[in-house]
Amino acid sequence: MTSQNSIDILSVGGSLAKRIVTNDELSHLVETSDEWITTHTGIKERRFSEDGVLTSDLAVEAALSMGVSLSDVDGVIVATATPDYKGFPSTACIIVEKLQLNNVHVAFDMAAGCTGFIYALETARALVVAGTCSKLLIFGAETMSSVLDFTDRNTCVLFGDGAGCALVAAGSGLKKSIIGVEGSGAKSLYINSKNHIKMDGRAVYKFAVARIVEVIQNLADDMGTTPSDITWIVPHQANERIIRAAAARLHISEDKFFLNVDKMANTSAASIPLALWDMDKQGKLKKGDSVLLIGFGAGLTYGGNYLVWNK
What are the tens digits of pLDDT across the range 251-261? Answer: 999 999 999 99
Same domain as 191, residue 112: no
The last residue of a domain, from among 136, 170, 204? 170
Domain that residue 138 falls in? 3-170
Same domain as 19, residue 166: yes
Count the domains in the chain.
2
Compute the average pLDDT of residues 40-55: 97
Sheet hosting strand 232-235, strand order edge to edge: 174-181, 301-308, 290-297, 232-235
Active site residues: 114, 236, 266
Residue 202: which CATH number?
3.40.47.10
Percent of the chain with pLDDT over 70: 99
Q: Which of 293, 261, 279, 270 is nearest to 62 (CA)?
A: 270
Same domain as 184, residue 166: no
The last residue of a domain, from among 127, 153, 170? 170
Same domain as 62, residue 135: yes
Same domain as 139, residue 181: no
Same domain as 147, residue 211: no
Compute the average pLDDT of residues 127-133: 96
Q: Which residues pair with 135 in a beta bridge?
A: 169
- What's the CA gap between 112 and 211, in Å, rounded? 15
DSSP-based three-state secondary structure for 65 = helix
Same domain as 161, residue 12: yes
The last residue of a domain, from among 170, 191, 209? 170
> pLDDT tens for residues 81-116?
999 999 999 999 999 999 999 999 999 999 999 999
- What's the CA gap between 266 and 271, in Å, rounded? 7
How would you class 288 by CB atoms within 10 Å of its CB: exposed for 0-12, middle for 13-18, buried for 19 or more?
exposed
What residue type is 298 in one-letter code?
A: A
pLDDT category of residue 4 using cuts at 50, 70 and 90: low
Same domain as 94, residue 26: yes
pLDDT at 230 over 50: yes
Same domain as 222, residue 100: no
Same domain as 197, residue 164: no
DSSP-based three-state secondary structure for 256 = helix
Mean predicted lDDT score pLDDT of the chain: 96
- What's the CA gap between 40 and 43, in Å, rounded? 8
Same domain as 284, residue 181: yes
What Å distances lie between residue 57 and 91, 154, 286, CA to CA? 10, 28, 30
Q: Which of 1, 299, 288 is nearest to 125 (CA)?
A: 1
Same domain as 112, residue 256: no
Compute the average pLDDT of residues 144-159: 96
Contact 117, 177 (CB under 8 A): no
The whole-model pTM stands at 0.96
14 Cα distance to chain centroid:
11
The DSSP letter of residue 85 is S
